[in-house]
Amino acid sequence: MAARPDPFAVQLRPMGAADIDAVMAVELSVYPYPWTEGIFRDCLRVGYCCWIADSAAGIAGYFVLSVATGDAHLLNLCVAPDSQRSGLGRRMLRHALRLAREHGGDTIFLEVRPSNESAIALYRNSGFVEVGMRRGYYPAPKGEREDALVLALVL
């Protein structure tokens, strides 16, 4: 079994268009209903805070954050399978929270699948609280839909 990368040996840096192929490889390896390359390109084009966790072995994770009129929205936070449960997700989340504050956010929101227990634990341990539910938000097997928990944190 390969050793997990040290999350603090990973460099956090802004995502660029040249990173999209590697980001897509991680996205496809983690999510059954992944974002498209076009979504990532659009996020870069409109100026969202798109960051990657770059390791010697490649992209270990990334996040996408938007901030407007005081509200921040964590749109995507993903850790590559080999880097999961290493503390990297927590490190990236802390960085996203700092960026949200620096860009004038006073509250940050996110959606998460109720079935994603590890993500929910990360967010709740970081102070997020449930503020709502979006019915049928996520695609699910057999054409069904899964709800999304809406979580928020006052920055």
Helix or strand holding residue 67 (H, E): strand 58-68
| Residues forming the active site | 111, 123
Nearest-angstrom CA–CA distance, 24 and 35: 8
Region of 48 please: left (phi>0), alpha (psi -120 to 50) or beta: beta
Is the pLDDT at 8 greater than 90, yes or no? no
Domain ranges of the chain: 11-154
For 50-100, what is each residue's pLDDT tens digit?
Answer: 999 999 889 999 999 999 999 999 999 999 999 999 999 999 999 999 999
Radius of gyration of the chain measured on its C-alpha atoms: 15
Nearest-angstrom CA–CA distance, 144 and 33: 12
Contact 35, 75 (CB under 8 A): no
For 21-53, what is each residue's pLDDT tens digit?
Answer: 999 999 999 999 999 999 999 999 999 999 999
Claim: this prediction has a pTM higher than 0.85: yes
Cα distances (Å, whole numbers) of residue 116 to 30, 45, 77, 119, 145: 12, 29, 12, 6, 14
Helix or strand holding residue 151 (H, E): strand 145-154
Nearest-angstrom CA–CA distance, 116 and 123: 11
CATH topology of domain 11-154: Aminopeptidase (3.40.630)
At 11, the amino acid letter reads Q
Say what the pLDDT of residue 155 is: 97
Which residue do the tokens 């539910």 mark?
Answer: 133
Task: Please tell me which residue, 56 or 20, carries the higher pLDDT value.
Answer: 20
Q: Is residue 36 packed enough to be buried (19+ CB in 10 Å), middle (13-18) or exposed (0-12)?
A: exposed
